[in-house]
Amino acid sequence: QVQLVQSGAEVKKPGASVKVSCEASGYIFIDYYMHWVRQAPGQGFEWMGWINPNSGDTDYAQKFQGRVTMTRDTSINTAYMEVSRLRSDDTAVYYCARGSEITGTTTGFDPWGQGTLVTVSS
């Protein structure tokens, strides 16, 4: 079955960086966009951007440009999302989510990874 498995929880100090991984299985990794979304405690969802695993092209939400980097390693079907210069308000659960097929029908995000809690605290 299609599955996304993320790396474990992280605790970071303000100003540090964090890199979250998302391993895909059950489908052809390079055929689908991968999105990253975060959810602060008790809050709604904030879309961060996507990566095209085939080309490596990215599109970041303006809010995160210059502070977020999305990459991938096609040899191990894994996407990565790194946030630099962390602040306390970056504390959130970070999700990867499979998007639309790159050359197919445009759909929603399905499935989502289990989420990675990133806590930023001094």
Partner 1 sequence: EIVLTQSPGTLSLSPGERATLSCRASQSVSSNYLAWYQQKPGQAPRLLIYGASSRATGIPDRLSGSGSGTDFTLTISRLEPEDFAVYYCQQYGNSPRTFGQGTKVEIK
**Contact positions vs partner 1 (CB under 8 A):** 35, 44-47, 59, 61-62, 95, 97, 99-100, 106-115
Least distance to partner 1, CB of residue 75, Å: 26
Kindly tell me which of 3 and 74 has the beta carbon lying closer to partner 1: 3
Least distance to partner 1, CB of residue 97, Å: 8
Least distance to partner 1, CB of residue 30, Å: 20
Tokens found for residue 3:
């599955």
Least distance to partner 1, CB of residue 60, Å: 9
3-state SS, residue 86? coil
Kindly tell me which of 84 and 114 has the beta carbon lying closer to partner 1: 114
* Partner residues linked to 106 by β-bridges: none
CA angle 62, 90, 24 (to 5 degrees): 80
Kindly tell me which of 73 and 110 has the beta carbon lying closer to partner 1: 110
Kindly tell me which of 43 and 74 has the beta carbon lying closer to partner 1: 43
CA nearest 112: which of 17, 9, 52, 39? Answer: 39
CA distances from 73 to 56, 76, 86, 108, 114 (A): 9, 6, 24, 23, 20
3-state SS, residue 31? helix
